Amino acid sequence: MTDRFAIILAAGKGTRMKSPRPKVLHEIGGRSMLAWSVALAKDLGCKRTVVVVGPDMPQLSEAAAKLVGAENVAVQREQLGTANAVDAARGQLADANGDAIVLYADTPLIPQEAGERAFKALAGGASICVLGFKAKLPNRYGRLVTAGDGALEAIVEANDASEAQLKIDLANSGVMAGPAKLMFELLKEVKNDNAKGEYYLTDLVGLARGRGLKAGVALCEERDVQGVNSQVELAQVERVFQDGVRERMMVAGVTLPAPETVHFSHDTKIAAGVTVEQNVVFAPGVSVETGAVIRAFSHLEAAQVGAGAQVGPYARLRPGAVIGRYAHIGNFVEVKNVTVGEGAKANHLSYLGDGEVGAGANIGAGTIFCNYDGFFKYRTVVGANAFVGSNSSLVAPVTIGAGGYVGSGSVIVEDVAPDALAIGRGRQVGKDGWARAFRDEKSAAKKAGKKPPGAV
C-alpha cells in the first residue's frame, strides 16, 4: 500500500470561542479536538502526521508535541490562508513519497471510512480528492462544481461564487487528499487574487486540472464534517457525538431507558446486557462488563466494572476503581484506586480510597478508609468475607484479616487478625435520671430569665 501522511491544520486563533484555552484543545467526548484528528490519522495508517500551529501558541504547541512529537509540529508564521498553512508542513514532508491528507483540528468527528474513501479515490486515478457532502443549508460553504461524469471541475468559495454556483448543494468540507509531492508542487502556484486576498488550498483542484490531471469527490455526511468555531458549535458537535454513541450502544445491546441523559466518552466500553439508568456520566477510561447495572446519577472515571455488578445510584468511581463480579457499590459511595472483590458490598455513604476489599466482604454505612496523612497515601486491605460495621474509620496502613469483624463506630489503627473482632471506641456509660434532671434545671433557668455563662 502507498505510504500515507497527514497534515492537521490547527493554527486558527479561535477568537469566537472567547476562551483562554486554544480552540482545538476544547474537548468532545472527553478528548481534545486536536487529539481526535491525530487519532484519525493514526487509524488511517499515516506514516507521519504533522500538526500546523500558529506563532505564540505555547500551550497548543506543547499539546501537539505530546501527540505527534516536537519534530512534527510546524508553525504558520502568518495567517495567509489554508494553502499557506499546508505549505508550512513542507519542511517535514517535502520528501514524503506517498499520499497526504489535509485534516482540520476543529473538525473532530470525521469517520475513518470517509478518509479511506478519499485515499481510495486516489488509488482509482484521481490526483486530487476532496471530501464533500450534501449541505442542507450550503450558505458559507465552498461549492463543489462537478462534471456530468462526477469529476470535480472546481471549488468555488461562497464569497466568489456566482448566483448559479450558490445554488449547488454539494459542499466542500475542506479535507483534501493527493500525492504529497504533487500537492507541495502545486502550492507554489497558488495566488491570492480573491475576495479575501488569501491563498486557498481549494485552488489546487483548478491547478491540477490545468495540467490535465483528474480531481474527484469522496462523499460523507454533513454531520461528519461539522466544524467548531464557537462554544455553541462545540456543544452542537458534542451532541452529534453523544447521539451517535447512544445509538451504537443500544444497537449493540446496552439498555438505556433515558439515553438522552447519559453522557459517554470517546473510549467508553460497555458490553451487551448492561443497563445504564438516567443521568449517568462516563468520563474517559471506563469499561463495564455484561449484566452490570449502573444506576441513576452515578459518575465513573477510569474505572472497571465487572459482570453482574451494581453501581449506584449516586455512586462515584474514580481512577483505579476495579469493581468485581456481582459486587455492590451503593448510594453516595466513592471508590478510588481500590479493587473490590467478587460479591463484596459497600452499599451506603462510604469512602474507599487506596486499597483492597476481598470477595464477599461487607463495608458498613459511613465507613472511611483514612488513606492520607497530608503528605503520603497508604493502603487499606479488607480480607475476604470480613465485616466492617457502620461508621468505622480504618486508618491506613491497616489490614482487616479474612473473616474479621469490626464493631460499629470503631477507629481501627492496628491490624485485625483473621476471624477476630476489633472494637475501637469509648466505653458507654449510663446515668439513670440524668436527662430528666437536666431538662428540669434548664427549664427553670430559662423561665427565670437566667442565662448560663456563654449563652447568647
Is 266 a catalytic site residue?
Answer: no
Alpha carbon of 361 to those of 127, 304, 356, 405: distances in Å? 66, 19, 10, 10
Q: What is the three-class DSSP state of 377?
A: strand
CB atoms within 10 A of CB 160: 15
* 195, burial (CB in 10 Å: exposed 0-12, middle 13-18, buried 19+): exposed
The single-letter code of the amino acid at 386 is A
Q: Each residue of 301-320: b (16+ CB within 10 Å) or e?
A: bbbbbbbbbbbbbbbbbbeb
Instruction: Measure the CA–CA gap between 358 and 264, rounded to whole angstroms.
Output: 30
State the alpha helices, DSSP H only, in 270-416: none
| Cell matching residue 206 | 483548478
State the alpha helices, DSSP H only, in 74-217: 82-87, 90-93, 112-123, 163-166, 180-187, 203-210
Which helix (H) or strand (E) element contains residue 231? helix 231-251
How many Cα atoms sit within 13 Å of 128 on the Cβ side? Answer: 33
Q: What is the three-class DSSP state of 57?
A: coil
Q: What is the three-class DSSP state of 235?
A: helix
Long-range contacts of 244-250 (CB under 8 A, 24+ apart): 244/109, 245/29, 249/276
Determine the Cα angle at 71 with ends 20 and 7, to 5°: 70
Contact criterion met (CB below 8 Å) for 340 and 327? yes
Among the options 26, 266, 328, 348, which is catalytic?
A: 348
Instruction: Measure the CA–CA gap between 403 and 304, rounded to whole angstroms.
Output: 26
Beta-sheet strands, E only, within 259-341: 269-270, 275-276, 281-282, 287-288, 293-294, 299-300, 304-305, 310-311, 316-317, 322-323, 328-331, 334-340
Which positions are catalytic?
A: 348
